Chain A
Amino acid sequence: MSFLTPIALPSLPTEVLEIILTHLSQPDLTQCVRVSHAWNKALVPYLWRTLAIHSRHSLKRFITNEAQQALRRNATFVRELHLVHKALYDKSLPCRKTLISDPGVMLLEVYTISLFTNLRALELEPVRLVRPNPEFDLEIFALVRQNPHLRRLLVNVKMDPKTLINLVTKHTPHLGDLDLVVSWRGDVKALLDCLPECIRTVRLRNVVHDAPSNAQGKTSDASDASTTLARHHHALESLHVAGNLAGKQEEVLVPFLESCSPKLKSVGGTGGGMGSYFFGNARIAKILSNLGIVCKELSQYTLPNNVSDADLAELIAANSEWTNIELYTRQVGPQAAAAIVECCEHLEALDIMHNGARGLSGFHLQAVLGKATKLRSLQAHWLLNTDKITAMNILSSQWATTSLEHMDLKIEVQRAIQASRSVQRQVLRRLGQQKKLRKLVIGGMTTDLATGEFVHQRDCLEMTLESGIDELVDLKNLEVLDIHHMDHRAGVPELEWMVANLPRLQILIGMLDTLRPPSDEVREWLSTHRPSWR
């Protein structure tokens, strides 16, 4: 296009002007609106799109007469409002009190607030009040009520339970994003249920579920009152619920989740000693799995504080895509152990280090080793006397994985039998086949059955050349070898072998902490050749 007069910015087509404006900040626009009448007229609506006053400095400049008059003219352009300072809207302007139809609710209409009717986003931050105003949330109520196009609402102010639910039920039909930052005590189920169908993201950061209609006492899975919701929250993409659901997460979350579609991609939230609300509960985990959300890592933090063996088993069995099971401080009973074996096909890391695991035995570990082709890390060290992996376990079948990098096991080998050395050699050969191994920890304290004392493990690998340590010759990646608390017999020849054949071995533990005091020979060798080894 060729103009006889120069092209002026304000006369550009709107769609072009808006692209230019996306690269200009609000401060830039304050300069632009002073350039000329034409620039002012075109750009003031864009300058006033966001009203987010966060500093005292800006606030002081906002409560001038000029700015307040401009506010009255331009409030209609405001799309996003961040209410931080009460003074923002509480000037000495006339205000009136009106009784509205909701019983017991008094609406305080502050003149300036009523100007905002075009909001798409509203952020309510904690307000610094000179005197606390108990009717503050009613004013917010009014503000939301007159902005039916609200799409995004962030609430970080104290709000009474009924108000919030009313807000959402009746007055925000287009709400897409709700972020409840402040801690809120109310009926979480009712809140979730009344969310509009177009809701996309929900974040309840610190809620305490308090539903007056429910009596105390557990809602066990038997008393299932999951009514089918009228609404389908088919647009929901992300849900986060944290806080304290008073043990009622099934009652609160199940109906809501059942109203969601596979668009739901992200869930999260823990609290109240219940671990993860979503993945610490088998029923909820199943619903999520139907929606395509599968938790692949089971950690102790996912679980409720006092999960029973049966519940843990159910949880594990709920999906077979686990890649990581790390239950470090949790007891694994027989049912859960069996479930782990069932669902370990994709397992990459298993960590069951609790001192005193009951039910998880060497049989289970061997079964996992036989099934988990991708296993990289197996840590089951602190098993007490009855729970260990025996040579017989290990040799009973092949291992499915060749990618083990980290093994931490207590291996029991009978030393008194005649074939002991041959068995030890075979065990070490099996370990030696894991060429990616970088960290190997074997042996550990056990309880002497006779005396009940905690002692070094006696029925363990000797770790000598005669008994097969040379089978580890292929472990060129081995960086850590830990054989302390074992009654092994490694001496200088073995040390020399290690230096010659395990080039990456940096850390060796267990030469100085043995049942019998280490020989002078060993001490001297270590101090001259490898002072860092012990």
Chain B
Amino acid sequence: MPVTLTSLDDVKFTVDKDVAERSILIKNMIEDVGESDSPIPLPNVSSAVLKKVIEYCEHHRNDPVQVQDETDDPRKRSNDIEEWDMKFMAVDQEMLFEIILAANYLDIKPLLDVGCKTVANIIKGKTPEEIRKTFNIVNDFTPEEEAQIKKENEWAEDR
């Protein structure tokens, strides 16, 4: 049973229902509206991003649905990103953040998790200067300010 999704820039995407329902937001919308042919509008997601999101959902359409566990300590989660996902996430930063925001809006938890983990991996192990270069951030600290901040938080550096 196909479902039509309309992006921010009015592009229509037709996908199978089970693929679309990897998004809890869409799943709930379908349940509320009932069986209908009218397309589901997603005014917060551009077509480029929606295309990627759909690609993810199609690849993972048969994954078991993750059970929300309140007591789940995220730090205990397994930390490996599978290979397909890694290749999928090898996009420019702007797209990466847009995918994350779309996954948050559409409520696709596995995609959100993978996106966040990818961003964290980019940050890990880098010095402030390296982080700035990676994310194209202007350094708005004076050297004295930065030195001060370093001294303030140095106690937390070793682990």
Contact = CB atoms under 8 A, between A and B. Distances in A.
A33 B145 CA distance: 11
A31 interface: yes
A32 B100 contact: no
B101 A32 contact: no
B131 A2 contact: no
Contacts of B148: 66
A30 B154 contact: yes
A12 B151 CA distance: 27
A23 B121 CA distance: 8
A35 interface: yes
Contact of B116 (A20, A35, A47, A58): A20
A64 B156 CA distance: 13
B124 A24 contact: yes
A69 interface: yes
Interface in B35-91: 44-46, 49, 74-75, 79
Interface string B100-120: 111011000000110011011
A1 B42 CA distance: 10
A55 interface: yes
Interface in A20-56: 20-37, 39-40, 47, 53, 55
B153 A2 contact: no
Given A1-B102, A22-B74, A37 B140 contact: yes
A64 B151 contact: yes
Nearest to A31: B128
B112 A55 contact: no
Interface string B125-141: 11110011001111111
B113 A19 contact: yes
B117 to A, nearest CB: 6
B112 A16 contact: yes
A23 B117 contact: yes
A40 B131 CA distance: 13
B156 A29 contact: yes
Interface residues of A, number: 44
Contact of A22 (B75, B125, B128, B132): B75
Contacts of A35: 128, 131-132, 137, 139
Given A12-B101, A20-B116, A23-B117, A6 B94 contact: yes
B44 A30 contact: no
Given A28-B123, A59-B155, A69-B152, A16 B102 contact: no
Contacts of A57: 158
Contact of A67 (B137, B139, B140, B155): B155
B157 interface: yes
A29 B155 CA distance: 12
Given A30-B157, A31-B128, A16 B104 contact: yes
B29 interface: no
B20 to A, nearest CB: 19
Nearest to A59: B155
B22 to A, nearest CB: 18
A6 B141 contact: no
Contact of A53 (B75, B79, B155): B155
A136 interface: no
Nearest to A2: B46
B95 to A, nearest CB: 10
B101 A36 contact: no
Given A22-B75, A26-B156, A27-B156, A1 B45 contact: yes
Contacts of B155: 53, 58-59, 61-62, 67
A1 B116 CA distance: 17
Nearest to B75: A22
A55 B154 CA distance: 13
Given A16-B112, A31-B126, A34-B146, A7 B157 contact: no
Contacts, number: 132
Main DSSP-derived SS at the A contact region: helix
Q: Of B101, B136, B152, which is in contact with the most chain A CB atoms at under 10 Å from its CB?
A: B152
A15 interface: yes
Contacts of B149: 33-34, 40
Contact of B153 (A21, A22, A33, A53): A33
Contacts of B75: 22
A32 B104 contact: no
Nearest to B152: A70
B132 A58 contact: no
B17 interface: no
Contacts of B121: 23
Nearest to A17: B116
A103 interface: no
B69 to A, nearest CB: 14
A58 B112 CA distance: 35
Contacts of A58: 155-158
B131 to A, nearest CB: 5
A70 B98 contact: no
Contacts of A59: 155
B156 A24 contact: no
Q: Of A7, A34, A61, which is in contact with the most chain B CB atoms at under 10 Å from its CB?
A: A34
B24 interface: no
B93 interface: yes
A61 B154 contact: yes
B150 A1 contact: no
Contact of B120 (A20, A36, A37): A20
Contacts of B46: 1-2
Contacts of B11: none
Nearest to B101: A1
A9 B79 CA distance: 21
A13 interface: yes
Nearest to B124: A28
Contacts of B44: 1
A69 B97 CA distance: 35
Interface of B: 8, 44-46, 49, 74-75, 79, 93-94, 97-98, 100-102, 104-105, 112-113, 116-117, 119-121, 123-128, 131-132, 135-141, 146, 148-159
Given A7-B97, A57-B158, 9 more contacts: A23-B120, A25-B159, A27-B156, A35-B131, A35-B137, A36-B138, A61-B154, A66-B152, A67-B151
14 contacts: A1-B101, A1-B105, A8-B135, A9-B135, A16-B116, A20-B120, A27-B158, A30-B157, A31-B128, A31-B131, A36-B140, A36-B141, A66-B152, A67-B154
